[in-house]
């Protein structure tokens, strides 16, 4: 009997002269030729691929969170749970990517850092879309994207739409909880600020879990997403500090200083405050 197991797989397709194959389906030629180094340094390939992979994961996070928002608006909370659970798993993957990037030493990075010019991860429009859907909105960031009218329009649309927490608060109101009308009718282009009526509603959910099981599950899924996001932010900050210390970022930000500052922001503040009070 032949040791070559492949020869025993008579059903395997080998003729793709006229059929779509794996590479065609995934457009691998386009994908794998997108990593174009601007320097001759070996480690620039690592730097580019890490950011390409992160952008792909961000694309999937956006895909899932947008669908979760729609599901919550339609009171299909069960579907949103699956999507938000997937987001948390994606976040795990992105966090682990920092471990790979941290193998880049300061000396190695400085060999090609100047080739980046003013390009910076701070300018990632997909990262901004994730921040927007989580409710963190700052008007000055839109200016970064005026160079590309199509991307600017996508961001501007997301900027004025309710985020994940907004639609969750609306779900509380639809389930009979007394929510401050100013919160329900607020300007969604503003970063969310905590409200006592929202905290009281979530407190009732957590104190009567059996009566509000789906809302309780929703709250915990939101906490999962924020927890993982903050861990991602922390690993980002520590990786940047490890590689460039406290230098100014290539995009002009304060670098580590800025990243430390945003660590103090909570997307869903009432869900964290109630843990002390319950």
* pTM for this prediction: 0.91
Q: Is 212 annotated as a binding residue?
A: no
Q: Which fold has domain 38-276?
A: Methane Monooxygenase Hydroxylase; Chain G, domain 1 (1.20.58)
pLDDT, tens digit (0-9, with 9 covering 90-100), for 84-118: 999 999 999 999 999 999 999 999 999 999 999 98
Contact 43, 112 (CB under 8 A): yes
Q: Is 179 annotated as a binding residue?
A: no
51 is in an annotated binding site: yes
> 151: annotated binding-site residue?
no
Q: Are 204 and 196 in contact (CB under 8 A)?
A: no
Q: Where are the domains of the chain?
A: 38-276
Which pLDDT tens digit goes with each residue over 118-177?
A: 888 888 999 999 999 999 998 788 988 998 999 999 999 999 999 999 999 999 999 999
pLDDT in tens, 179-207: 999 999 999 999 999 999 999 999 999 99
268 is in an annotated binding site: no
pLDDT in tens, 38-88: 999 999 999 999 999 999 999 999 999 999 999 999 999 999 999 999 999
Q: Alpha carbon of 39 to those of 43, 112, 115, 274: distances in Å? A: 10, 6, 7, 51
* 50 labeled binding residue: yes
Q: Is 236 annotated as a binding residue?
A: yes
Between 213-244 and 269-277, two packed helices, what is the crossing angle to 10 degrees?
110
């Amino acid at each position: 009997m032949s040791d070559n197991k492949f020869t025993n797989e008579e059903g395997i397709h080998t003729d793709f002269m006229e059929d779509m194959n794996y590479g065609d389906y995934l457009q691998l030629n386009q994908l794998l030729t997108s990593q174009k180094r601007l320097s001759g340094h070996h480690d620039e390939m690592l730097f580019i691929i890490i950011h390409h992979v992160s952008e792909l994961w961000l694309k999937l996070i956006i895909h899932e969170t947008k669908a979760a928002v729609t599901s919550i608006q339609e009171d299909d909370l069960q579907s949103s749970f699956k999507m938000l659970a997937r987001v948390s798993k994606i976040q795990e993957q992105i966090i682990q990517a920092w471990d790979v990037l941290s193998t880049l030493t300061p000396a190695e990075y400085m060999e090609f850092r100047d080739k980046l010019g003013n390009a910076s991860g701070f300018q990632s429009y997909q990262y901004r879309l994730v921040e927007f859907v989580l409710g963190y909105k700052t008007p000055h960031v839109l200016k970064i994207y005026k160079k590309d009218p199509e991307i600017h329009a996508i961001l501007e649309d997301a900027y004025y739409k309710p985020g994940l927490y907004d639609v969750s608060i609306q779900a509380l109101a639809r389930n009979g909880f007394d929510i401050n009308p100013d919160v329900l009718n607020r300007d969604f282009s503003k970063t969310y600020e905590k409200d006592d009526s929202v905290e009281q509603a979530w407190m009732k959910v957590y104190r009567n879990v059996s009566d509000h099981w789906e809302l309780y599950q929703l709250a915990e899924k939101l906490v999962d997403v924020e927890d993982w996001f903050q861990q991602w932010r922390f690993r980002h900050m520590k990786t940047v500090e490890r590689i460039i210390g406290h230098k100014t970022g290539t995009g002009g930000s304060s670098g580590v200083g800025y990243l430390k500052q945003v660590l103090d922001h909570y997307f869903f503040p009432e869900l964290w405050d109630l843990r002390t009070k319950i």
